[in-house]
Amino acid sequence: KGCYVIGSTGSDDKKRWLLEEAGLNAAINYRSENLRTALKAAAPKGIDVYFENVGGAHLDAALACMNLRGRIAVCGMISTYNGDREGVRNLSVMIYGRMRMEGFVASDFPHLQEQFQSDMTGWLKSGQIRYQETVLEGFERAPEALIGLFEGRNAGKMLVRL
């Protein structure tokens, strides 16, 4: 769709995959780089649209880089799911930045589902969009998969094959 895309991940291998395989314009390893500094360097023209699914320090860093009238689509806040209550400290920048932040779930957009499926199917078939999966075998490995997901042991989507 012509966007400049920045990814954030927790390892150099995943960062390399985002840049070399997935084709992102920039990527950050939030475990080895200062998140705010790295994001400012990766987005020298600022951020117009931020897709939020981490919360905490990631949202703080993004808020500091948002352009005037920037938009933040919120679909998750995984940093709080394990009881880590790392708060966002700079929500007030939304006032003078005239930003909009709105939560959503996919079911809010049934009218776009058919077009999305058509577009995504084409992009996947053409290789324009690439993905990774980590698959663990057997129901007994479900706890390992869940723990691994929150510890970043997966590459891409974490799945358990029954």
Q: Are residues 118 and 137 in the same domain?
A: no
Q: Are residues 23 and 72 in the same domain?
A: yes
Quickly list DSSP for 77-137. -GGGTTS-----S-TTHHHHHT-EEEE--GGG-GGGHHHHHHHHHHHHHHTSS---EEEEE
Number of domains in the chain: 2
Q: Give the per-residue pLDDT at 152.
A: 84
Q: Which domain holds residue 161?
A: 132-162
CA 91 to chain centre: 19
pLDDT tens for each residue of the chain, 162 residues long: 889 999 999 999 999 999 999 999 999 999 999 999 999 999 999 999 999 998 889 999 999 999 999 999 999 887 777 666 667 888 999 999 999 999 999 999 999 999 999 999 999 999 999 999 999 999 999 999 999 988 889 999 999 999
Taking CB atoms within 8 Å and a gap of at least 24, the contacts of 26-35 are 30/57, 30/58, 35/8, 35/60, 35/61
Q: Give the per-residue pLDDT at 66.
A: 97
- 127 domain residue, yes or no: no
**Whole-angstrom distance, CA of residue 123 vs CA of residue 129:** 5
- 61 domain residue, yes or no: yes
Q: Give the per-residue pLDDT at 151.
A: 85
Predicted TM-score (pTM) of the model is 0.86
Q: Are residues 23 and 102 in the same domain?
A: yes
- 1 domain residue, yes or no: no
Q: Are residues 103 and 28 in the same domain?
A: yes
Q: Are residues 98 and 156 in the same domain?
A: no
Q: Are residues 106 and 145 in the same domain?
A: no
